[in-house]
Amino acid sequence: MSRKIAIVLTVNGEPRQLLAEPRDQLADILRGALLLTGTHVGCEHGVCGACTVEIDGAPARSCITHAGSCDGSTVRTIEGFGDDAVMAELRDAFAREHALQCGYCTPGMLIAARDIVLRLPHADEARVREELSGNLCRCTGYRGIVRAVLAVLALRRGNEPTLHIPLPR
């Protein structure tokens, strides 16, 4: 067995010192060592998006990112957004629009959705759908999810118009 490595992370605002196997993915540490089981593990090869967390402020796949490579990083999981205004709006909109059924995709979906709202404040429906293509939902058919994200975008824009951002070809 390979030697364990010492890593330091800030997870949801708290400093954590951990021992990880080199082969441990960040998701394994979050779920297994820190019991933050809101981070879900689906495909384990970066396609389904269920494991999406924020690393140093940017969403990333915790199933294909080794814990060792995150040493010194700040990580935020779905449990760490309790005080976040955008996430509160998204949670409300997801509930209102029936944007989840089984809930397996929801933590990753919310973290991806928050990134869309903050990074692309003028996104239209086509762009929202494109940006959500890295998060698979097998229950809802996406209609409620897209409506929820668009509702939060509209809320935050106030009266500013939706800009048409062309789809990639």
Partner 1 sequence: MKPAPFSYARPKDWPEALQLLAAGARPGAGTQSLGPLLNLRLAQPNTIADLRHLPDFAGVTSSSAHIRIAAGTTHAAIEDGAVPGRTGEIMADVARRIAYRPVRNRGTIGGSLAHADPAGDWVAVLPALGATAIAIGASGERRIPTAGFVTGIFETALAEGELLRAVEVPMLSADAKWGHWKFCRKPGEFSKATACVLVVPGRPARAVLAALDAPPLVIEDAAALVADSDGEAPRLADLVPGLADWRRALAETALRRAVAMAAGS
Contact residues toward partner 1 (CB under 8 A) are 1-3, 5, 21-23, 25, 28, 44-46, 49, 52, 55, 58-61, 63-66, 68-69, 71, 112, 115, 119, 130-131, 133-135, 168-169
Q: How far is the CB of 156 from partner 1 (least distance, A)?
A: 19
DSSP code for 33: I
| Minimum CB distance to partner 1 smaller for 65 or for 140 | 65
Q: How far is the CB of 14 from partner 1 (least distance, A)?
A: 23
Q: Can you give the length of the chain in residues? A: 169
Q: How far is the CB of 107 from partner 1 (least distance, A)?
A: 13
| Minimum CB distance to partner 1 smaller for 3 or for 158 | 3
Per-residue b or e along 57-70, where b marks 16 or more CB atoms closer than 10 Å to that residue's CB:
eebbbbbebbbbeb
Q: How far is the CB of 140 from partner 1 (least distance, A)?
A: 17
| Minimum CB distance to partner 1 smaller for 95 or for 168 | 168
Q: What is the identity of the amino acid at 8?
A: V
Q: How far is the CB of 153 from partner 1 (least distance, A)?
A: 16
167 Cβ contact partners less than 8 Å away, ≥ 6 residues apart: 126, 127, 130
| Minimum CB distance to partner 1 smaller for 136 or for 139 | 136
How many Cβ atoms sit within 10 Å of the Cβ of residue 18? Answer: 17
Token pair, residue 114, equals: 């928050």
Query: Residue 73: CA atoms inside 13 Å, Cβ hemisphere, count?
Result: 20
Token pair, residue 70, equals: 């995150």
Q: Are 98 and 145 in contact (CB under 8 A)?
A: no
| Minimum CB distance to partner 1 smaller for 92 or for 115 | 115
